[in-house]
Amino acid sequence: MQTGWSNETLREIFPAIWDGFIVVLQVTLVAGIIAIVVGLLVAIGERNGPAWLRRPLSLVFQFIRNTPLLVQVLIVWTATSLYINPDWSAFAVGSTVLGLHYASYTSESYRAGIDAIPKGQWEAATALNLPSHRVWGAIVLPQMARRSAAAVGNWIIAMFKEVPTLFIIGVMEMIAEARAFQGQHYTGAVEGYTLAGLLFLAASYPVAVAMRRLENRLAKSNF
């Protein structure tokens, strides 16, 4: 049993935790792209998709949004590793589930951005007889992007901090690295978890501040 903080252990565990931090960044990149793209597709699909798709799509993503990421990760990982394809890596499966989970949040931010566009914009687009891809590409999406950017950014930061959940299926992020280190050296809980927390703080705080600035700037600008 460990008795206290040890700088010695800190030096030994740092490389492992740092490796874990890099994995966290990689997962964030992959899952972030999924969350940004799928969230947008869901928001558009729920609004302008074919009628038979709208209701089920909305229900599925409400279900994803209101159930724990941990259990979703476990159920998908069980399904893929036991029944679908055991070769799929925990990294790929974990990142996909995390990305889809946060797509359920970003889609709401996009939806709010679309809903905030004045009705006259839609009417003008109809009056000009623009084709649907022009309505979205030239009128709706550019206006929505400004309104949704900060909110979506905030969800990505929140997602970044939830990456450690994936340790449960063996993605070697910081928690998994700290546990592996403890398994070998019978010490390192204090140093490992403290370091992991501080790295999260150091990485997310500046981005969160930048997001708040962006939010304020967009809120002030007249659009």
Binding site for another protein (CB under 8 A): 2-5, 58, 62-63, 65-72, 74-75, 78-79, 82-83, 105, 108-109, 150-151, 153-155, 157-158, 161-165, 167-168, 174-175, 178, 189-190, 193-194, 196-198, 200-201, 204-205, 208, 211-212, 215
Q: Which is nearer to another protein, 122 or 193 (CB)?
A: 193
User: What is the Cα–Cα distance from 87 to 145, expressed in whole angstroms?
Assistant: 38
The alpha carbon dihedral of 53, 103, 30, 216 has a sign of positive
Least distance (Å) between residue 19 CB and another protein:
16
Report long-range pairs for 189-196 (Cβ below 8 Å, ≥24 apart).
Answer: 189/2, 190/2, 190/4, 190/5, 190/6, 190/9, 191/5, 191/6, 191/9, 191/10, 191/13, 192/13, 192/16, 192/17, 195/10, 195/13, 195/14, 195/17, 196/17, 196/20, 196/21, 196/164
Least distance (Å) between residue 160 CB and another protein:
8
Q: Which is nearer to another protein, 19 or 215 (CB)?
A: 215
Least distance (Å) between residue 116 CB and another protein:
11
Q: Which is nearer to another protein, 135 or 169 (CB)?
A: 169
CA angle, 191 then 194 then 196, to 5°: 105
Closest CA to 3 of 191, 134, 209, 156: 191
Least distance (Å) between residue 120 CB and another protein:
22
Q: Which is nearer to another protein, 91 or 160 (CB)?
A: 160
Q: Which is nearer to another protein, 76 or 135 (CB)?
A: 76
Least distance (Å) between residue 114 CB and another protein:
14
Q: Which is nearer to another protein, 139 or 151 (CB)?
A: 151
- Please spell the DSSP secondary structure of 57-78, one letter per residue: HHHHHHHHHTS-HHHHHHHHHH
Least distance (Å) between residue 204 CB and another protein:
5
User: What is the Cα–Cα distance from 214 to 208, expressed in whole angstroms?
Assistant: 10
